[in-house]
A and B are shown apart, each in its own frame.
Chain A
Amino acid sequence: MSSFAEAWNLLISGDADTWSAIFTSLHVSLLATGIGALIGVPIGLLIGARSFKGKSVLTVFLHTLLSVPTVVVGLLLYLMFTRSGLLGGLDLLFTPALMVIGETILILPMMIVFTASAVSPLAAEVLETTASLGAGRLRSGWTLLDEARLGVLAAIVAGFGRAISEVGAAFMLGGNIRGHTRTMTTSIALETSKGEFGLGLALAFILMLIAYSINLVFYSLQQQSRTI
């Protein structure tokens, strides 16, 4: 396939546009995944570990958020950050920072729900064990997270997958500015709209390669966890 060769060429030749898009895709998704995990995992832990009033309502709500189309999040954030919007003064529209915010919001429900699911079946037993051995709340929570670590890692990997494959919000919030906010996905969308299917496919190959590499790293982390 000539797209394959084209992909190889783009990478090897150090094509500035391609490498810039790769860099933007990676740093936006990885940041979003990191921040999403830092916020989402503890929330998921709290929800999964306890029973409280309105838990089922909250759970259904969070599951619904999983189905929110990315363009909707993109639109809402766009309206907030446009000059005349609520947060317009922050000057974040058409910057990678706003893309990170958008992606983080998109993957947050996923992180919360998947972490809660991973933690929930273990919570009662583990927390009883830790409490009976005199552990405080923090240590107990941390231990529960540790016991559920495979599920939690899966949540993080899933979050990364959604972040790096995202187009709608990235397009709206970043403006697809060449060399600045153009990601692999928005590049593919652009080239496809120009009828440059070959180039689009080549970029798609590269994106898959990158996603594969990152997932390989995650996978080996999971395997290590299994044997510890």
Chain B
Amino acid sequence: MLRLATTTSVEHSGLLPYLLPEFEKKNGIKVHVIAVGTGKALKMGENGDVDALLVHAPDAERVFMSKGFGEKREEIMFNHFLIAGPDRDPGGIKKCKSAAQAMKRLADGLAAVISRGDDSGTHKKEQALWKSAGIKPQGEWYLEVGRGMGPALLMASEKGAYVLCDKGTFLSMKKRLELSICFEGGDSLLNVYSIISVNPKRHPRIRHGLARKIVQWMVSKEAQRSIGAFTVEGGTLFRPLRIQGKVK
């Protein structure tokens, strides 16, 4: 048995039930997946409550590694964040040329902006974007909901608000939402997922043999191909980082 903490966006995408059975069969074990926010997943890794992490907050992950909580980290797949919002686009986000410009427009407060507010990978990305645009988000238009991506999207849909989300979750929930993509693209909206094995030196009870194996396997050709082949509603949600010879 291997305990893997991952984020709610990965869980909601349905990638793991599709991807993991191959690994489970190969090693004759079951992977127990616990889906929580990125912040909590990192904490669980720090406490040794799980054996491996699949998260998407590179800065926080680097801190994690530097503190010696993790043994091995590999970036395995990516997609992009995007800004979703009401189709009629009251904030004029669709016309923006850059993420920074879009953030500034959002801060004008012409429509509400939903923030995850839960220390998740998406939330961390959102905070980084505000920071690089030099804005401190506050005001009645800024709603910190402290909830997962799914509920945040639903809320944005109900309220006609904007929300930062990962493409994977957006696509998988699209048919239930009255939102469209208002801004996407650019390096600043890159969303990289990594797998990390928890350091057994700090927690000797960690199943580190299996944890190392899953890290190795995630970067293997076969897993990478599977990731690329995973589609929802006809679209790929994640792009593998380790094949086609190039690390983007």
- A–B touch (CB < 8 A): the answer is yes
Cα distance, A94 to B47, chains bound together (Å): 14
Residues of A within 8 A of B3 (CB): 94
Bound CA–CA A193/B151 (angstroms): 5
* Contact pattern, B 23-50, Cβ under 8 Å of A = 1, otherwise 0: 0000000101111100000000001110
A180-B148 Cα distance, complex, nearest whole Å: 22
Q: Contact mask B148-187 → A, CB, 8 Å, 1/0? A: 1011011000000000000000000100110000000000
CA distance A177 to B36 in the complex (A): 11
Against B, the Cβ 8 Å flags (1 = close, 0 = not) of A42-85 are: 00000000000000000000000000000000000000001110
Determine if B49 and A194 form an interchain contact, defined as CB atoms under 8 angstroms apart. Answer: no
Knowing A177-B33, A180-B32, the reply to whether A94 touches B49 (Cβ < 8 A) is: yes
B153: chain A residues at CB < 8 Å are: 195
Whether A193 lies near B49 (C-beta < 8 A) is no
Chain B residue contacts of A175, Cβ below 8 A: 32, 34, 36
Across the interface, do B32 and A193 meet the contact criterion of CB distance under 8 Å?
Answer: no
B150 and A194 form a contact (CB under 8 A) = yes
With an 8 A cutoff between CB atoms, is A146 at the interface? no
Query: Are B32 and A177 interface neighbours, CB within 8 A?
Result: yes
In the complex, B12 has a CB within 8 A of chain A: yes
Contact of A195 among B33, B154, B203, B205 (CB under 8 A): B154
A112 to B12, CA, bound (A): 41
* A: number of interface residues (CB 8 Å): 15
The secondary structure that dominates the B interface is mixed
Residues of B within 8 A of A84 (CB): 47-48
Number of chain B interface residues as a range: 20 to 34
A interface residues (Cβ-Cβ under 8 A, vs B): 82-84, 91, 93-94, 175-180, 193-195
4 A-B pairs with least C-beta separation: A175-B34, A83-B48, A195-B176, A193-B150
Task: Given contacts A193-B148, A195-B154, list 6 more A-B pairs with CB under 8 A.
Answer: A83-B205, A84-B48, A175-B36, A180-B32, A193-B8, A195-B150
Residues of B within 8 A of A (CB): 3, 8, 12, 17, 30, 32-36, 47-49, 147-148, 150-151, 153-154, 173, 176-177, 203, 205
24 interchain pairs (CB within 8 A)? A82-B47, A83-B48, A83-B203, A84-B47, A84-B48, A93-B49, A94-B32, A94-B34, A94-B49, A175-B36, A176-B35, A177-B32, A178-B17, A178-B33, A179-B30, A180-B30, A180-B32, A193-B12, A193-B147, A193-B150, A194-B150, A195-B150, A195-B153, A195-B176
